[in-house]
Chains A and B, each alone.
Chain A
Amino acid sequence: MFSVMPASAVRIRDLRKTFGSVEAVAGVDLDIGDGEFFSMLGPSGSGKTTVLRLIAGFERPTGGTIELGGRDVTGLAPFDRDVNTVFQDYALFPHLDVLRNVEYGLKVRRVPKGKRRERALAALHSVRLDGMEARRPGELSGGQRQRVALARALVNEPKVLLLDEPLGALDLKLREEMQVELKSIQRRAGITFVFVTHDQEEALTLSDRVAVLDRGRIQQVGTPAEVYERPATEFVAGFVGTSNRIGDVCVRPEKIHVHTEGGPQGGQGGGEGLTGTGDREALGTVAEVVYAGAVTRFVIDLESGDRVVALQQNLRTSSMDVLGHRGARVRISWHETHEFHVSGTGPAPAPAS
């Protein structure tokens, strides 16, 4: 799965950071490959932002080492590290116009004026902000500020770009647009992206690999598919998507077919009564039906006592049809290849990379 992983752009060993008595980062090992889009996913307080700030150099680690491109930077100040950051609140300089914001890093590093301007304009062009050079950050929309922040970081051509929940403040539509744009910018520039988010869908959509963090520890590192289909711990199973516990196995909601009396509810796979090898089924009562546009969410109480959530595509159904199922007896089925086991509660430290 980790096909292309030449030199690691970021190499972290046993990283620790305590604030007073709080252990924000409790021993993290990571290898992030060159040109990789790597996400750190976790709830607030999981330590993901602290890891990012440690890589950038804004915080001094309590223990452990950080290497960037093979060079130990653990003791270096931010201005001596070849990384740039896109901040959650963008942190644009309010007293400088867009062009001067983007030029700031080049000016500090004494790039000659002509060259500086040329590169800044090219960076602004790459985030589609031509003609905005003279605006102040206060005169821009949230999405535009986000792009300026991106251009200001990219113009320095860092080896690693750190992004701290950069899309968090944008509305849904804009966020989805920016996700596509981020991905294409990363591919074009070939820069390693380390992306911090609490939005599991965002992490799964964008990343080559995802690290799931909880309470300062890495729970699992893997491709989006690995993390989603084969979660290593109960925490990962619960945080990355929804998981249903049926007996001693877990199944994702969209992998469960709901068979109502009128026929399979949008489940095009297994037909009524068909049980091939590996098919599992259970009986239950529909406790709640939620119509959500593209899908319908069934909450079903099984006879075994487990409560499961099943997602069904609204292929041929509409809100009129589904709402009548509340309280109905149904049969659900799934395939055993979609079952996964999680290792109880133990947050077993996942192996690095």
Chain B
Amino acid sequence: MTATAEAGGADGRPAPGPRRRAAALLHRRPRLRLSLLLTAPLAWLVVVYLGALAAIFLTAFWSTDVFTGEVVRQFTLANFQTLVDEPVYRTVALRSLGVAVAVTVIDTAIGFPMALYMAKVAKPKYRPYLMIAILAPLWAAYLVKAYAWRVMLSQGGLLDEVLKPFGLSSPGYGLPATVLVLSYLWLPYMILPVYTGLERLPDSLLDASGDLGARPVRTFRSVVLPLVYPSLVAGSIFTFSLSLGDYITVKIVGGRSQLLGNVVYDNIGAANNLPFAAAVATIPVVVMLGYLAAARRTGALREL
């Protein structure tokens, strides 16, 4: 007792040090704890992420001085007026939308059966290897993959060789090639969420449906699809938004076709018209907001 008495308080325990006192304070004040924990990430989100978006949106209402090339910080709707008046921009916007929709449809059609096979048919011990096979392309650089496709799609390239026996040829460079390569690039982003959704679906539900008299097609329509629907929406948000913003693939395999991303890129670079680039960049943002709102209405976002 004498040994501990020197360091001890009234109850014989050692007096708490400053770190202990701070920990105790945080324990008593959950709100303080929460604010300390969230301040840094929230600051990042607000300043860097939302701030950048706000800056783009604001810039879109400015203009460029024709002679000096300087940005004129004065409110004007001229950029948006151009977007509406010039038919070429409407064409580019609709083309981008079409590409994004096509990529999403193709990835759903290919990705769903693959995810289904991985989650419900393949033996569990093979699943990690299948998962690696799906993820492996993500480890290669984007440009490498796009250029690999450029080589394959070229005249007399691999695709021509493979398709020749069937009397077909490579689609060459253009929009179909762009859709093809984008579908390839974003496929893992569709498979992963759908796989997760299917894996969470208990096998007993499938057994129960069969037990109650449903054939496989009926089970798929009435049980699997409604329960995996949120995951499909999640995957489609990836494939859709990634395709909508892409400008590199189309530059490499798209021939002369232009998408929204190219218009933005050219206006930042060659044309040096930052405000107009910002105005064009708001189009995919608005489209995505509309897409998310539609997804929300179906209740799919609640379960993400």
The reply to whether the CB of A108 lies closer than 8 angstroms to some CB of chain B is yes
- B90-98, B166-174, B210-218, B238-246 - the one binding chain A: B210-218
Contacts of A108 in B (CB 8 A): 212-214, 218, 222
The reply to whether the CB of A188 lies closer than 8 angstroms to some CB of chain B is no
Q: Which of A57, A58, A94, A152 makes the CB contact (< 8 A) with B212?
A: A152
The reply to whether the CB of A85 lies closer than 8 angstroms to some CB of chain B is yes
Distance to closest chain A CB from B302 (angstroms): 12
Residues B204 and A104 in contact, CB atoms below 8 Å apart: no
Residues B218 and A85 in contact, CB atoms below 8 Å apart: no
The reply to whether the CB of B208 lies closer than 8 angstroms to some CB of chain A is yes
Given the known interface contacts A91-B202, A91-B204, A91-B205, the answer about A56 and B223 at a Cβ–Cβ threshold of 8 Å is: no
What 1/0 flags go to A86-104 for Cβ under 8 Å of B? 0111011111000000001
Contacts of A85 in B (CB 8 A): 207-208, 211
Contacts of A104 in B (CB 8 A): 209, 212, 214, 222
Distance to closest chain A CB from B275 (angstroms): 48
Closest to A100 in B: B222
Contacts of A152 in B (CB 8 A): 212
Distance to closest chain B CB from A52 (angstroms): 11
Q: Which of B212, B215, B223, B227 makes the CB contact (< 8 A) with A84?
A: B212
Contacts of A94 in B (CB 8 A): 227
> Bound state CA distance, A94 and B302, in angstroms?
14
Interface centre among A77, A79, A89, A152, by most B CB within 10 Å?
A79
The reply to whether the CB of A142 lies closer than 8 angstroms to some CB of chain B is no
Given the known interface contacts A95-B226, A95-B227, the answer about A89 and B211 at a Cβ–Cβ threshold of 8 Å is: no
Residues B207 and A78 in contact, CB atoms below 8 Å apart: yes
Residues A56 and B204 in contact, CB atoms below 8 Å apart: no
> Bound state CA distance, A27 and B211, in angstroms?
25
What 1/0 flags go to B192-234 for Cβ under 8 Å of A? 0000000000101101111111110010001100110000000
Given the known interface contacts A95-B226, A108-B218, the answer about A87 and B204 at a Cβ–Cβ threshold of 8 Å is: yes
What 1/0 flags go to B13-43 for Cβ under 8 Å of A? 0000000000000000000000000000000
The reply to whether the CB of A173 lies closer than 8 angstroms to some CB of chain B is no
Closest to B212 in A: A105
Residues B210 and A79 in contact, CB atoms below 8 Å apart: yes
Interface centre among B208, B214, B227, by most A CB within 10 Å?
B208
> Bound state CA distance, A314 and B24, in angstroms?
52
Distance to closest chain B CB from A201 (angstroms): 26
Contacts of A316 in B (CB 8 A): none
The reply to whether the CB of A312 lies closer than 8 angstroms to some CB of chain B is no
Residues A105 and B202 in contact, CB atoms below 8 Å apart: no
Instruction: Name the interface residues of A60-85: CB closer than 8 Å to any CB of B.
Output: 77-79, 83-85
> Bound state CA distance, A87 and B205, in angstroms?
9
Q: Which of A77, A87, A95 makes the CB contact (< 8 A) with B208?
A: A87
Contacts of B205 in A (CB 8 A): 91, 93
> Bound state CA distance, A88 and B210, in angstroms?
16
- CB<8 Å pairs between A and B, sample of 29: A56-B211, A58-B207, A58-B210, A78-B211, A79-B212, A79-B213, A79-B214, A83-B211, A85-B207, A85-B211, A87-B207, A87-B208, A91-B204, A91-B205, A91-B207, A91-B208, A93-B209, A93-B223, A94-B227, A95-B227, A104-B209, A104-B212, A104-B214, A105-B212, A105-B213, A108-B213, A108-B218, A109-B213, A152-B212
Binding site for A on B (CB under 8 A): 202, 204-205, 207-215, 218, 222-223, 226-227
Binding site for B on A (CB under 8 A): 56-58, 77-79, 83-85, 87-89, 91-95, 104-105, 108-109, 152-153, 156
Told that A85-B207, A104-B212, A153-B212 touch, could you supply 15 new A-B pairs with CB distance under 8 A?
A56-B207, A57-B210, A58-B207, A78-B210, A79-B213, A88-B204, A91-B202, A91-B208, A92-B208, A93-B223, A95-B227, A104-B209, A104-B214, A108-B214, A152-B212
